[in-house]
A and B are shown apart, each in its own frame.
Chain A
């Protein structure tokens, strides 16, 4: 008993004040990209050629945050001249076309559907489905239950059954072998329901695009309401998306 109390004092209070207080992530973190549209054409071409995800649109001078794994290769080789990554983690969007960006993103709160806020604003129960995910996205969703983020204080929980859920959160490139199970989970969720795609794989197939064993984007299978980019998205990106879209 004494040991339990001693450890409790040792650990202290750890929950973040976000969203009321601002959080600054370290400068090494790569969040929303910033694009210099006046960068020389050869620099842009060099970045596009080096990008392992082929996420750079040369003619439009845009980056596809759905494909991007935020590795920072383009920032490195252009020394920030074309693309640099800011520490802004609030990067989720409600329409897929907004993932292709010049660095600007529409305010998520204004794009969220009002009836979602009315339905789910006070209580949102989500069922997570990993469909070919590498366990990084899954881990950084799971972490929202730990004391630092404490997702439950916002009335949002991950639940064990789709029957108890208001929507599903899908990670992974939707492997062929998981497609049926995913669709059954979706069907088992009571309407009205939401679908949230988390991570580069669920958005576009991520690193595995081109493989015949996966789908390139969850939106080709189910209607997606919220797109959360990253490889994996930072837990704060997930938290911001859920709070802004539904609260």
Chain B
């Protein structure tokens, strides 16, 4: 019997028989030892195979590693020894009724019945449609008070519940409870008609439609004979970078609004639309829905469109630079952003923060540089980690990424892009196989994992949004911060509710 994890590559399919199926003790010991020396959890999930429940973990350090084991009904929680497993163990408990004994905060992630109709780990009655009606982390004391916010918030945003324990204005603890957006995606994906797969995946988180489409398409390509040509890879890269710019620009605008500095709030708001309109020019949808499909892209980049994009980018680049400068050099903005909601590097490591939120805490990890796929292998993605971990660092990282992405797009648009537009193809996936794909979406490491059965049907489709790691970063940022700074911190992370709720 094998005793160690197997090294794998991003977006490369392997036969499931090659994945080391360890004894639970070996699995447990090895997983913990990889994470203890700085490794991170990419996936840790359960699945059902011929009536047997198994656990699988994909971990990363300098390389990606995978192993599986038979799932016990109860096991000693890994989280109690190693924090990055926290959310994953709760998810497994909710989906497959496997109890991690001694988990420090064993609570449902999304509030739904488990996939196996087993007895619920949390003792919930799911016929009652009142999620949120359960215990929260509480702080006791005469002067301690609680503030409950959501699920319906004041703005035009997604629903989630925030429970603050405060003493005066100071936040002692913030607990974030999601699940309101749960649409049953992971349960649905293995059974749906293949033609529906891309549309569902793009709808998991619409602000990251290109990232989601890309993760799914690369996974399907690895499991089939489909391949995206170099031109399609370039269009995908342009679209993913446009998505990054549009979201970062929008968030910088929201941050300006939250500190009541209205000129950049309005300018960023308008320019965000200009970037979304560039995506519309390419594929007819402002969010890039319908663009990326297994085998390439559904729309080619004509010379006419390339010329129009070039003109818009060169017109917008100086405007964006000026407004970022206007925001970040203003002294009253600086006094609000500096030292606000700081997360230390040590905490960020333990929580496993990814993307701009992680880079703002000094963790340089970027999938585009560490595990590049598609055209990213040919690009030079610079490191932009910042040491302070506060709102200012998160805003600066995003500002820098906007300028980097503009440069990438300018380079890619400098020469004609040739590709053949493709339509949805009949999918024929390799049987008994496994693939994991990672992409640096605008919020960080987005990853999909597909397992197929002996007939080539999807046995398990696992989705992990970067926000799954980062929501606890927001909780950490609020510790000892004034409650009035919550909106500012929330915007600086701008995490996905639907991406987590699935």
A141 within 8 A of B: yes
Partner of A175, one of B181, B200, B264: B181
Given known A128-B156, A139-B207, contact A73–B424 (CB-CB < 8 A):
yes
B130 within 8 A of A: yes
Residues of A within 8 A of B131 (CB): 177
Given known A28-B284, A132-B181, contact A181–B188 (CB-CB < 8 A):
no
Residues of B within 8 A of A231 (CB): 203, 285, 289
Contact mask A157-194 → B, CB, 8 Å, 1/0? 01011100000000011011111110001000000000
B180-A177 in contact (CB<8A): yes
A103 within 8 A of B: no
A234-B286 in contact (CB<8A): yes
Residues of chain A from 116 to 156 with CB closer than 8 A to chain B in the complex: 128-143, 145-148
B273-A137 in contact (CB<8A): no
Residues of A within 8 A of B207 (CB): 134-136, 139
**In the bound complex, how far is the Cα of B501 from the Cα of A204, in angstroms?**
20
A143-B269 in contact (CB<8A): yes
Chain A residue with the shortest CB-CB distance to B184: A213
Given known A134-B203, A158-B156, A231-B289, contact A211–B184 (CB-CB < 8 A):
yes
B185-A133 in contact (CB<8A): no
Residues of B within 8 A of A142 (CB): 155-156
Partner of B152, one of A29, A147, A185: A185
A76-B298 in contact (CB<8A): yes
- Determine which residue in B154, B188, B284, B424 has the highest number of CB atoms from chain A within 10 A of its CB, and name it: B284
Chain A residue with the shortest CB-CB distance to B178: A177
B66 within 8 A of A: no
A72-B290 in contact (CB<8A): yes
Minimum CB–CB distance from B345 to chain A (whole Å) comes to: 30
Chain B residue with the shortest CB-CB distance to A185: B152
Partner of B155, one of A70, A135, A160, A232: A160
Given known A7-B263, A7-B267, A10-B322, contact A129–B152 (CB-CB < 8 A):
yes
Partner of A77, one of B202, B203, B289, B423: B423
B423-A73 in contact (CB<8A): yes
Minimum CB–CB distance from B339 to chain A (whole Å) comes to: 24
Residues of B within 8 A of A162 (CB): 152
**In the bound complex, how far is the Cα of B157 from the Cα of A184, in angstroms?**
17
Residues of A within 8 A of B338 (CB): none
Range of interface residues on chain A?
A: 35 or more
A133-B273 in contact (CB<8A): no
- Determine which residue in B180, B192, B323, B501 has the highest number of CB atoms from chain A within 10 A of its CB, and name it: B180
Given known A3-B326, A147-B269, A181-B152, contact A138–B182 (CB-CB < 8 A):
no
Contact mask A225-247 → B, CB, 8 Å, 1/0? 00000011011000000000000
Residues of chain B from 316 to 349 with CB closer than 8 A to chain A in the complex: 319, 322-323, 325-326, 329-330
Given known A11-B267, A50-B423, A71-B290, contact A201–B203 (CB-CB < 8 A):
yes
**In the bound complex, how far is the Cα of B152 from the Cα of A138, in angstroms?**
13
B71 within 8 A of A: no
Chain B residue with the shortest CB-CB distance to A208: B183
B270-A69 in contact (CB<8A): no
Chain A residue with the shortest CB-CB distance to B246: A139
B135 within 8 A of A: no
Residues of A within 8 A of B298 (CB): 71-72, 76
Residues of A within 8 A of B235 (CB): none
Residues of A within 8 A of B270 (CB): 11, 14, 146-148
**In the bound complex, how far is the Cα of B285 from the Cα of A104, in angstroms?**
22
A177-B129 in contact (CB<8A): yes
Residues of chain A from 36 to 66 with CB closer than 8 A to chain B in the complex: 50-53
List 5 additional contacts besides A139-B206, A141-B156; criterion CB under 8 Å: A3-B329, A25-B280, A69-B290, A70-B285, A208-B183
What are 21 A-B contacts with C-beta separation under 8 Å? A3-B330, A7-B326, A8-B263, A25-B280, A28-B283, A53-B196, A130-B157, A134-B205, A146-B270, A147-B270, A148-B273, A172-B181, A176-B182, A177-B131, A179-B129, A201-B203, A206-B203, A210-B192, A211-B185, A213-B184, A231-B285
